[in-house]
Amino acid sequence: MRYLYTLLLTLLLSACNGQTPQKMTTKHKYTNALIHETSPYLLQHAHNPVHWRAWSETALADAKKENKLVLISIGYAACHWCHVMEEESFESEEVAKIMNDNFICIKVDREERPDIDQVYMSAVQLMTGRGGWPLNAIALPDGRPVFGGTYFPKKDWINTLQQLSKQYQENPAKFIDYADKIAQGMEASELVQVNLNESEFKTHKLQPIISHWKQLFDNRFGGTKRAPKFMLPNNYLFLLKYAHLQKDEELLKFVNLTLTKMAYGGIFDPVGGGFSRYSTDVKWHVPHFEKMLYDNGQLVSLYSQAYKLTKNELYKNTIIKTLQFIEEELYHENGYFYSSLDADSIDKNGKKEEGAFYVWTKEELKRLLKEDYSLFADYYNVNDFGWWEHQNYVLIRKDTDKAIAEKHHISREKLQKILQENLKTLHQVRNKRKKPALDDKTLTSWNALMLTGYLDAYEALQDKHYLDIALKNANFIINVQLQPDGSLNHNFKDGKSNINGYLEDYTTVIESFIKLYENTLDSKWLFEARNLTNYCFDHFYNDQNSMFYFTSNSDQKLAVRSMEYRDNVIASSNSIMAKNLYLLGTHFGNKTYTKTAKKMLHNILPEINDYGSAFSNWLDLYLSISEPFKEVVITGDDALEKINKLHQNYLPNVLFAGVDTSKKQTENTLSLPLLKDRVVQNKTLVYICENSACQLPIESVKEAVQSLKK
């Protein structure tokens, strides 16, 4: 496929005989229509001289009518290189004229329309072997891609557009033939084959995958031996679980090294809290400064699970400070979360720069911290280790509190008191700077990830405030994003809920509602999860391979109907669905759910063997099947109190169910298979079961924990 792409590019270049072709002079009749959109990213481009339009069937119909190629430019509000290309090319009258004369130009917010992004990202990766944002694709009037790339410098962009337009006018058949080949390649890459081999899940079969994975580990700074470094929370959630269940101390040590170095690094903001999207270097120091809701939601879950196991105070403080950031910067009092903060901000010279809001000069820190500067500079490495560029430093830790306290001959308590006062000072000063732009749209899937993060934090730290926020967000999803026909909407902005939901919206909400039931014992959430699951079977399911499409059968048809199954910075929607089905199958005694979950995993197995990191959430499900999986059922007036105590322990491969008999229960609740005939008057009992076969009930939480840890 890449050979074909190179051949097409060569033909385009040779057709021009080394000369820049003359510009087309088609008279255009459109104007920039993005001013009517609500997406912050689209609104950023609403005043470009380019005649941008949002994705619509009308735009494609106009391309067909005028026989023009479609130029599809995809990005998101917090994207630094998207801003660079806008400033260089999309704000240029010269470039805009070429685009307007020769193309129907469409701008897409990848976060609002992940379905469109998936199609053209898949095409660009097939053609070039890489992807990223901004994503720029050229398609036939029917939307089938023929060319694409990421960031283009202005001169290259002009030449590429002129060549493509000229060649399309002269030889459209070549483009149609190439589009056919690209479409075939995309369909093949999205196809999940039915695995006809015998299904057998044995933990020892994972050992080669783990052994190969370990060769990629960075045993100095954690993560993988490469830059840039992404945090990939689902990777470390699985590795933590595998290390614990298999008693792999070396692997557990590596996971803790990674979590420690991420919390130490500049990728975590010690002043305001929260994680940036990724690190540009191997030591987690200089981040790509955008802060995304989905990263922080998943990382709160990761650190919460790790805290349950280790009781490491660093992890606890990281959870607390991250959630403080969320509530200060990305939370609305009505219970929903915003999407992101921009990578760029205004520096002291009034110029937009990446990271300007977050960095410090040595002189600035000396002036602000006075006699505390020396200690602070040692702790946060205002030295060669923490230097970035242009006399700016990104705060990063290297040593433990114990080591720094001993070096400066003070107690750890005194050290922390000084540092907290210093950070408070810097936070106050920093908040007077021009803040990065906020992307204030609300996405259902990302909200659900954050909802799960709050529930994991509640389990680990037992701060009821976290549960209150979680409930408020869950009620927002139910009252605003859930539609009368049982569907979910993907987007919420300016008081309006819109865009038909994608599989990621359903799976993440189902996952969060199951966990909400486990923390409240309110069966309402479990039944809502089941209703959404059944909706997915009706509108997303492919009964040929037992997988789920990313888009609903009621959505507009795109070049390819994608099937997301490889885990990335967010676990794939199919892997989340498979895990949900496995849990719901147990809660409801639904064998179809359980069987489908196992079929889905079985289909993915041949590909997992090649690259474990891209299937870590699937591997988590694998362990649920291959290792003993327990059902913990608690019934009685004190059920909530006891389940909260149990939740404070790291108990992977355990499903929780229960009923608080001090509150009135519906008949549906008491008929749930795991609860049936397990309520004993005036007693709060804990049942530990496996495959619905239970040990004798016990009343002691301590005894239950000991039994589960065996």
123 and 251, same domain (yes or no): no
Is residue 25 assigned to a domain? yes
pLDDT tens digits for range 433-467: 999 999 999 999 999 999 999 999 999 999 999 99
Q: According to the model, what pLDDT value does residue 197 have?
A: 86
What's the CA angle centered on 123, arms 121 and 126, to 5 degrees? Answer: 110
Q: Per residue in 337-354, is it b (16+ CB within 10 Å) or e — as a string?
A: bbbbbbbbbbbeeeebbb
Q: According to the model, what pLDDT value does residue 5 have?
A: 52
Residue 3 pLDDT greater than 80, yes or no: no
Q: According to the model, what pLDDT value does residue 670 have?
A: 85
Upper half-sphere CA count for residue 394 (Cβ side, 13 Å): 23
325 vs 323: CA distance, rounded Å: 5
Mean predicted confidence (pLDDT) in 386-411: 96
Mean predicted confidence (pLDDT) in 298-303: 98
CA nearest neighbour of 597 among 609, 611, 610, 583: 583
Tokens of 33: 């229509």
Residue 545 pLDDT greater than 90, yes or no: yes
- 690 burial (CB, 10 Å; 0-12 / 13-18 / 19+) is exposed
The full 3-state SS of 97-158, as one line of letters, equals: HHHHHHEEEEEEECCCCHHHHHHHHHHHHHHHCCCCCCEEEEECCCCCEEEEECCCCHHHHH
682 vs 670: CA distance, rounded Å: 16
Cβ-contact 89, 52 below 8 angstroms: no
- Strongest mean pLDDT among 336-350, 495-509, 607-621: 495-509
Residue 364 CB neighbours (<10 A): 16
pLDDT tens digits for range 236-288: 999 999 999 999 999 999 999 999 999 998 999 999 999 999 999 999 999 99
Q: Which residues does 605 contact at the CB level (< 8 Å), separation at least 6?
A: 195
Cβ-contact 282, 216 below 8 angstroms: no
Residue 583 pLDDT greater than 50, yes or no: yes
140 and 217, same domain (yes or no): no
> Can you tell me which residue has the tokens 């606890």?
316
Mean predicted confidence (pLDDT) in 85-114: 96
Q: According to the model, what pLDDT value does residue 20 have?
A: 43
Is residue 599 assigned to a domain? yes
Mean predicted confidence (pLDDT) in 593-610: 93
Q: According to the model, what pLDDT value does residue 196 have?
A: 86
Q: Per residue in 479-510, is it b (16+ CB within 10 Å) or e — as a string?
A: ebbbeeeebbbbbbbeeebebbbbbbbbbbbb
φ/ψ bin of 682: left (φ > 0), alpha (ψ from -120 to 50), beta (otherwise): left
Share of the chain above pLDDT 90, in %: 85
24 and 137, same domain (yes or no): yes
3-state secondary structure of 75: strand
Residue 229 pLDDT greater than 90, yes or no: yes
232 and 161, same domain (yes or no): no
9 and 124, same domain (yes or no): yes
Residue 226 CB neighbours (<10 A): 10
263 vs 397: CA distance, rounded Å: 8
Tokens of 424: 């408070």
458 and 378, same domain (yes or no): no
- 50 burial (CB, 10 Å; 0-12 / 13-18 / 19+) is buried
104 and 215, same domain (yes or no): no
Domain holding 603: CATH number?
1.50.10.10
592 vs 598: CA distance, rounded Å: 10
Q: According to the model, what pLDDT value does residue 18 have?
A: 42
197 vs 604: CA distance, rounded Å: 12
* First-last CA distance in the chain: 52
CA nearest neighbour of 171 among 36, 8, 22, 306: 8
Confidence (pTM): 0.94
> Can you tell me which residue has the tokens 């608080």?
660
Residue 13 pLDDT greater than 60, yes or no: no
Residue 17 pLDDT greater than 80, yes or no: no
Tokens of 369: 């911290």
CA-to-CA separations, 314 to 178, 267, 550, in angstroms, rounded: 54, 15, 38
Mean predicted confidence (pLDDT) in 104-124: 95
Domain holding 415: CATH number?
1.10.10
- Helices vs. strands in the chain: H and E counts, helices first: 27, 24
Is residue 481 assigned to a domain? yes
What's the CA angle centered on 157, arms 153 and 160, to 5 degrees? Answer: 140
- Domain end: 626, 645, 673, which one? 626
Q: In whole numbers, what is the pLDDT of the chain averaged over residues?
A: 93
- Verify cis geometry, omega within 30 degrees of 0, for the bond prior to 134: yes
- Domain limits at 311? 203-343+439-626
- Domain end: 414, 432, 450, which one? 432
- Domain end: 570, 603, 626, which one? 626
Q: According to the model, what pLDDT value does residue 6 have?
A: 52
49 and 128, same domain (yes or no): yes
**pLDDT band at residue 200 under the 50/70/90 scheme:** confident
Residue 644 pLDDT greater than 60, yes or no: yes
3-state secondary structure of 593: helix
44 and 124, same domain (yes or no): yes
Q: According to the model, what pLDDT value does residue 185 have?
A: 87
* Rg of the chain taking only CA atoms, in angstroms: 27
Residue 172, φ and ψ in degrees, nearest 5: -65, -25
**DSSP letter string over 303-329?**
HHHHHHHH--HHHHHHHHHHHHHHHHH
Q: According to the model, what pLDDT value does residue 664 have?
A: 84
Is residue 82 assigned to a domain? yes
Residue 498 pLDDT greater than 90, yes or no: yes
CA nearest neighbour of 23 among 96, 105, 107: 96
Mean predicted confidence (pLDDT) in 420-427: 98
Cβ-contact 355, 343 below 8 angstroms: yes
Q: According to the model, what pLDDT value does residue 27 have?
A: 55
Is residue 222 assigned to a domain? yes
3-state secondary structure of 25: coil
Residue 707 pLDDT greater than 80, yes or no: yes
Mean predicted confidence (pLDDT) in 85-108: 96
Q: Where are the alpha helices (DSSP H) in 16-105?
A: 40-44, 57-66, 80-85, 93-102
397 vs 265: CA distance, rounded Å: 6
217 and 83, same domain (yes or no): no
601 and 491, same domain (yes or no): yes
Tokens of 665: 């229960």
pLDDT tens digits for range 21-60: 444 445 567 899 999 999 999 999 999 999 999 999 999 9
Q: Count the residues in the chain.
A: 710
Q: What's the structural domain count of the chain?
A: 4
Is residue 339 assigned to a domain? yes
Q: Which residues does 165 contact at the CB level (< 8 Å), separation at least 6?
A: 24, 69, 98, 102, 103
567 and 662, same domain (yes or no): no
Domain holding 12: CATH number?
3.40.30.10
Q: According to the model, what pLDDT value does residue 623 have?
A: 98
